[in-house]
Amino acid sequence: MDPKNSIWIIKCLLILALFYLAYIDWRTFRLPNLITLPLILLGIVFNCFSVLSFVTPSSSLVGAALGYGLLWGLNAGYRLLKHQNGIGMGDAKLLAALGSWLGWGALPSILLVASIAGIVGGITWLKWHGHQLRQAFPFGPFLAIAGIIELLWPQLIQTLILPRLI
């Protein structure tokens, strides 16, 4: 099989998994370990042992650890201040999965796009749900969309958007 076809098949399967996770999180406010944990492992295995890898093995491993650690640390800080969780650990596992597939260098773009989309989505969510600020809000769909954007158009933020803003 042509390597280009193989890469597109892998990308399509990853996109389907991300859309499925976004749908589950949107409907249930949960990102199941049954999907996120194997997705982390598959990303590491793919990038460590495949000739078609997206990033180096070290970038994949650091991306998984950093993806989880960033959101875990953010939640730990919020928990210290507010005595409650601010973000679900399913979101941290999803970011770890994205880091394992796309490497640690993709994490800033993913977080930027997901945060901007999350702000817009959050404002819309508040308008639909009567401005209830204490209500939970799923962040996983925005992480998944940002991951898909980074998968299909790598370095879009750094090369096209940020230079125009600066």
Low-confidence ranges of the chain (pLDDT < 50): none
Identity at 30, one-letter amino acid code: R
Amino acid 122: pLDDT: 84
Are the C-beta atoms of residues 146 and 110 closer than 8 Å to each other? Answer: yes
Identity at 8, one-letter amino acid code: W
Amino acid 141: pLDDT: 96
Amino acid 117: pLDDT: 94
Give me the number of domains the chain comprises: 1
Are the C-beta atoms of residues 72 and 92 closer than 8 Å to each other? Answer: yes
Amino acid 104: pLDDT: 96
Q: What is the pTM of this model?
A: 0.90
Amino acid 137: pLDDT: 81
Structural domain harbouring 50? 3-165
Amino acid 162: pLDDT: 58
CA dist., res. 24 & res. 140, Å (int):
9
Amino acid 100: pLDDT: 98
Amino acid 42: pLDDT: 98
